[in-house]
Amino acid sequence: MPVDISYEAETDGVLVRVQPSFLEDESSPEDHRYIWAYHVEIENRGEKRLQLMTRHWRITDSDGRVQEVNGSGVVGQNPVLEPGGRFEYTSGAPLTTPSGMMQGVYRLEDEEGTTLDARIPLFALDSPYDERRPN
């Protein structure tokens, strides 16, 4: 049974914690299809109300191919985080290789319109099908 590992980074009072998990039932190694879910928790440890405006992901597979994903909000929402508040969601990522890595940035905005780029920590997507274990 794989151990659940979480990764975290804090930027100016915004903590981002990510816990990836390999989805065996949705993956098809013979078709070069490997699927992960990742659970994200964003916590506002600062004193200002923040709204998550955009996301930027950089997904790298074990062959070095990079996919950039940009968009508004997360899971169709632009959550507001009060001081001490948090928002959690789960999403997914497909790869054509048995392992890879993800990292990124959430852009948040306070009530005055000042933006903050909160770092999403680099985290490993390692499946049991990768003999090399590069991450």
Distance, CA of 127 to CA of 36 (rounded, Å): 9
Residue in the block written with tokens 């923040």: 50
> Residue 36 — pLDDT band, cuts 50, 70, 90?
very high
For residue range 62-98, what is the model confidence (pLDDT) as tens digits? 999 999 999 999 999 999 999 999 999 999 999 999 9
Comparing C-alpha atoms, which of 127, 132, 100 is closest to residue 28?
127
Distance, CA of 120 to CA of 99 (rounded, Å): 19
Quick one: pLDDT at residue 72? 97
Token pair, residue 112, equals: 């005055």
Which domains does the chain carry? 7-125 (2.60.40.1470)
Q: Are 89 and 40 in contact (CB under 8 A)?
A: yes
Quick one: pLDDT at residue 22? 96
Mean pLDDT calculated for residue range 18-26: 97
Distance, CA of 121 to CA of 34 (rounded, Å): 21
> Residue 11 — pLDDT band, cuts 50, 70, 90?
very high
Distance, CA of 73 to CA of 18 (rounded, Å): 16
The sign of the dihedral angle between the CA atoms of 72, 74, 76, 78 is negative
Distance, CA of 20 to CA of 5 (rounded, Å): 7
